[in-house]
Structure 1
């Protein structure tokens, strides 16, 4: 086998990347083996290996000894100060979204719970827990309370089809919001539902929303650390 021509490694990487980015190879697709790519490009194994390593470093592919090299599932990216519609974000990645309701209960607000008390001092809430799925695989978990004094229509929603967050964005507009973002380790039940190792690194987002001073909802969402990116763009004071 001849040594690689100048630039061939970059060409292989660029052509493989193009197939990934234009959707020819969707997330989860197994790319050709190094041997197959050697034959396709007429080059040495090291040339192909370096091209694939570069794709892995860029987060475009993942390597698995048993499954081979697969097209990576890109993390969802959202602005820190936005309240995203997870269903829409996943659909934008051309993946099928599903919300799986795990529990539903109408109960009094627990004023002794600081997170709930920050939403409202008292009242009746709809308490929900559920899982977000992307392409049939776990994407995130959430536990949520909805203040029925502010969003009374939620009382009659079962949320077995539409995710509560999506419904709220369209039916219970908010004027103020607060985020709290922390890194946490997955507990046993959380790890099982998310398909990660117990103690695995996760991103926890807590969010409160109000409308004209009245609490709308409090939600605590948990995502595996490699599946969600938070991004903020800003300028220094006085910048134009």
Structure 2
């Protein structure tokens, strides 16, 4: 087969997936096993796997063996102000000493204010990652009566891929939401990353009543 060694390996592994030899959810062999089986170097294996992850054929977080991806189910998000209809696993929770200029503006606080940050991987019933929800708030959680949400095109970043089974560089929607108390003060800011191959949006940029 013509082409670079990693392309040849990627084509062979792709055929294993397409033929059903590696079914959805199958955790593929380790780098060392693939190197030994196909007589190639580690760099070839890494580039072949990266190619298949970029195509969406494989998924998984770094430092863990990838799994064969399930065909993505397409969901519709009707409102960005309801509980997400999928399970969430906490991947990172921390107290940040600086809100940063963008977050400070969204939360209406000085840029050096300490805020809590929780990043949660969104996983459906079959264990497929369908998004990432990152929330910032100052102090305890408080009730809200309205919200504002802006939607912008986005590509999954390396940091977001590190936290989830999403692929870095994949096209996604980025929903940037702020919730408000009755007096108009912001109580929470949230970024929701939704891959475009797994979600349709039945909502638009708006502020709740």
TM-score range, shorter chain: 0.5 to 0.7
In structure 2, C-alpha distance between the alignment counterparts of 1:108 and 1:198, rounded to whole Å: 27
Pairwise CA distance, 1:179: 0.8
Is the counterpart of residue 125 in structure 1 residue 112 in structure 2? Answer: no
* Residues 201 and 225, structure 1, Cα contact 8 Å, conserved in 2: yes
TM-score normalized with structure 2 length: 0.55
In structure 2, C-alpha distance between the alignment counterparts of 1:130 and 1:196, rounded to whole Å: 13
Cα distance change on mapping 1:217 and 1:206 into 2, 3 Å: same
* Residues 132 and 192, structure 2, Cα contact 8 Å, conserved in 1: yes
Pairwise CA distance, 1:117: 2.2
Determine the structure 1 residue equivalent to 2:81. Answer: 83
Determine the structure 1 residue equivalent to 2:49. Answer: none
In structure 2, C-alpha distance between the alignment counterparts of 1:136 and 1:116, rounded to whole Å: 35
* Residues 91 and 163, structure 2, Cα contact 8 Å, conserved in 1: no
Give matches, 1:5-16, under 5 Å: none
Determine the structure 2 residue equivalent to 1:14. Answer: none
In structure 2, C-alpha distance between the alignment counterparts of 1:225 and 1:133, rounded to whole Å: 15
Query: Structure 2: where are the runs of 5+ without partners?
Result: 1-16, 25-69, 205-209
* Residues 72 and 197, structure 2, Cα contact 8 Å, conserved in 1: no
Pairwise CA distance, 1:208: 0.5
Determine the structure 2 residue equivalent to 1:66. Answer: 19
Larger Rg: 1
Compute the RMSD of aligned alpha carbons.
2.9
In structure 2, C-alpha distance between the alignment counterparts of 1:188 and 1:106, rounded to whole Å: 22
Is the counterpart of residue 181 in structure 1 residue 151 in structure 2? Answer: yes
Determine the structure 2 residue equivalent to 1:137. Answer: 128
Give matches, 1:44-63, under 5 Å: none
In structure 2, C-alpha distance between the alignment counterparts of 1:189 and 1:108, rounded to whole Å: 19
Query: Structure 1: where are the runs of 5+ without partners?
Result: 1-63, 91-96, 155-171, 234-240
Pairwise CA distance, 1:227: 1.4
Aligned length: 138
